[in-house]
Amino acid sequence: MSFWTRFLNNKEKSIKPWNGLINGYRDLLDIDNKTKVITLCEGNTPLVPAPAIAQACNVAGLSVYLKFEGANPSGSFKDRGMTMAVTKAIAKGLRTMICASTGNTSASAAAYTACARANGFETACCVVLVPDGYIALGKLAQALVYGSQVIQVAGNFDQALQIVRQLSEKHPIALVNSVNPDRIEGQKTAAFEVCDQLGRAPDILTIPVGNAGNISAYWAGFKQYYELGIINAKPKMCGFQAAGAAPIVKGEVVENPETIATAIRIGNPASWQMAAEAVQESYGLVEAVTDEEIIQAYKLIHAGQGICCEPASAASVAGLIKMAQQGRLQRESTVVCVLTGNGLKDPQTALDVSGFSPVKAEASMEAVAKALNLG
Ligand code: AN7
């Protein structure tokens, strides 16, 4: 059989149809067949081998992979939880979504609400509360252009979350923060994908921790695959908070969290308890990385690996490198670092840290050659 005959045979095409994670993992999720699915075909994100990061760790036989969640429709892992949360809210008859956000949850909620409008729920609308002045510009732009109502609160994320919790108790509004269990249910599919892509579970998963929903969701996913016998070991869950916003590491609420990684600028994580259990049950850890370590990792992920992530995401790689430096990685182990969001959301940080300024030149070959010192 010729190559082309095989290629054109549907069974051997390497691109398989993908209709979003609810359709992709329906049997493993809490959803029935009658529910109308609100999806932007999220999930199925790349798991990219990262030799430059493995090299930076300098541990014999270490394999490092990056789970690139920035490839989701709104540019972050939040879409996994949001397809589920908005689908379920709409099915319950709710039409107003609300969330507090450091930027990605709001972008995602706004996108999926627009998707609901497109799919027959014309009255669906979304309200987002964000800390004034502390979200990346791209995320603010997304919430606005997807058509949500944006309220900039003169306070931090933790205060905004308290407000939306109170509002959703008093009014028929769907709270789509990760305190909504549907969010965790959708987000656990990232753990399924990691195992499906690797053909096994990694030995270690490193992940940034903010409100602590995602680390809890991954652990739920790994446990489910283990109980089903799809994997025969579970990874150690290693979570990393920014040093200026590290309540779980310190064991106390941080009243005024501060970090360059605004996505994880959270001082009182809602899923604190669940995250602590994930870490304990998996023999993992939660530790802090400094803004400087985050920026070093952010540069390595971009210039060294060719992958575009936001500063908060780089905490997972910064944490891995720290573990390596402390001699806490076993040889021959397999690590997955979760890159939670797309770097394009925060071009200001990219410009600030890149250390290069563009050179201006006249539009002629000679001028450009001169600028390049080509003689
Ligand atoms: C890129 O959008 O909390 O520990 O309001 O945007 O599950 O909170 C974002 C969190 C990591 C932390 N990386 O995840 C929000 C919000 C990125 C993020 C986290 C967030 P959780």
Instruction: Give the DSSP letter of residue 157.
Output: H
- Distance set, CA 356 to CA 40, 350, 351, 353, 359 (Å): 36, 10, 8, 8, 9
The SS3 assignment for 268 reads coil
Atom of ligand 1 nearest to the CA of 178: 7
How many angstroms does the Cα of residue 61 sit away from the middle of ligand 1? 31
Please give the pLDDT value at position 355.
77
3-state secondary structure of 179: coil
Cα(342) to centroid(ligand 1), Å = 12
Give me ligand 1 centre to Cα 9, in Å: 42
Nearest to 179 by CA among 219, 211, 148, 210: 211
If you search the block for the tokens 């050659």, which residue do you land on? Answer: 369
The helix (H) or strand (E) run that includes residue 366 is helix 365-371
User: For residue 173, how far is its CA from the centre of ligand 1 (angstroms)?
Assistant: 22
Query: Looking at residue 63, what DSSP letter applies?
Result: E
Cα–Cα distance for residue pair 269/279, rounded to 1 Å: 15
β-strand partners of 126: 97
CA-proximal residue: ligand 1, atom 5 (nearest): 101
Q: List residues bridging with 242 in a β-sheet.
A: 289
CA–CA dist 25, 17 (Å, integer)? 13
Contact indicator for 239, 215 with CB cutoff of 8 Å: yes
**Residue 300, burial from CB neighbour count under 10 angstroms (0-12, 13-18, 19+):** buried
d(CA 259, CA 244): 6
Nearest CA to ligand 1 atom 14: 210
Amino acid at 362: E
As to burial, measured by CB atoms within 10 angstroms (0-12 exposed, 13-18 middle, 19+ buried), residue 69 is: buried
> Residue 29's pLDDT is what?
98
Nearest to 178 by CA among 62, 266, 56, 64: 266
Which residue in this structure is represented by tokens 């809602």?
270
Q: 202 CA to middle of ligand 1, Å?
A: 22
Mutate to test the pocket of ligand 1, among 66, 68, 80, 102 (most ligand atoms within 8 A of CB): 102
Nearest residue (CA) to ligand 1, atom 18 = 263
pTM given for the model: 0.95
Distance of CA 77 to the CA centre of its chain: 3
**Closest of 82, 66, 59, 94 to residue 143, by C-alpha:** 82
DSSP SS3 for 47:
strand
Residues with CB under 6 A from ligand 1: 76, 101-105, 178, 208-214, 263-264, 310, 312-313, 340-341
Q: Which helix (H) or strand (E) holds 142?
A: helix 137-145
Contacts of 198 (CB under 8 A, 6+ apart): 47, 65, 334, 336
Per residue of the chain (375 residues), give pLDDT as tens.
566 666 666 555 667 899 999 999 999 999 999 999 999 999 999 999 999 999 999 999 999 999 999 999 999 999 999 999 999 999 999 999 999 999 999 999 999 999 999 999 999 999 999 999 999 999 999 999 999 999 999 999 999 999 999 999 999 999 999 999 999 999 999 999 999 999 999 999 999 999 999 999 999 999 999 999 999 999 999 999 999 999 999 999 999 999 999 999 999 999 999 999 999 999 999 999 999 999 999 999 999 999 999 999 999 999 999 999 999 999 999 999 999 999 999 999 999 998 778 899 999 999 999 999 997
SS3 338: strand
